[in-house]
Amino acid sequence: MPFSSIIDDLAARGWSLQSSFLSSDVTHQLAAECRRRYAEGALAPAGVGRGEEQAVHEGIRGDHIHWLEEGQAAVSDGYLSVMDELRQTLNRELFLGLEEFECHFALYPPGAFYQTHLDRFRDDDSRCITAVLYLNPDWQPNNGGELRMHLPDGKTLDIPPLDGHLLMFLSGEFPHEVMITQAERLSLTGWFRRRPVDVLAL
């Protein structure tokens, strides 16, 4: 699978939006897998923070998530394989030292949102690049649910969660938020991670 446009975009501006990254057949299978897990109760309300400080705050974010692991389903294993190929390409072309890719299904029920945030923790710089694959066929403009990126020049960019579109950006550089959705909104949200810097050793 060619990744040259992603590499060029990340190098030039720090973010990339690819339409039809995967075929509609694959994204429909992924959406069905997400809904199956949700129906079985596998998706849990997402928390804010990490470790012992993590807590659910629906006034900050309202999505439900379930982490992907190898062996859960053939279609999700296929996605993890594609993203590992992309990880190796990013390392080869941009020398990023990415060691792994982690991701989860994210389901936003109607009325849910996620306030402005960065994807990198203040005390942990291991998340290097964010990758969001949208799984929403027939998404309409009045459904809302855009991801609003806050760009370095002070402008904002609203990205609708259109089926098969892949958004990638530098995790520590772009504050972003998910606007209120009026329809069920599905995605696979993940991060390419590198070995964290031990700030205590510097």
Distance of CA 201 to the CA centre of its chain: 31
Least Cα distance to 131 among 143, 119, 139 occurs for 119
- Top CATH class, 4-46+60-194: mainly beta
Q: How sure is the predictor about 60, in pLDDT bands with cuts at 50, 70 and 90?
A: confident
- Joined together, the tokens standing for residue 190 give 């993940």
How confident is residue 121, by pLDDT bands cut at 50, 70 and 90?
confident
**Those residues with Cβ within 8 angstroms of residue 39's Cβ, 6 or more apart along the chain or in another chain:** none
pTM of the full structure: 0.91
Write out pLDDT tens, residues 153-175: 999 999 999 999 999 999 999 99
For CA atoms 162, 177, 174, 101, the dihedral sign is: negative
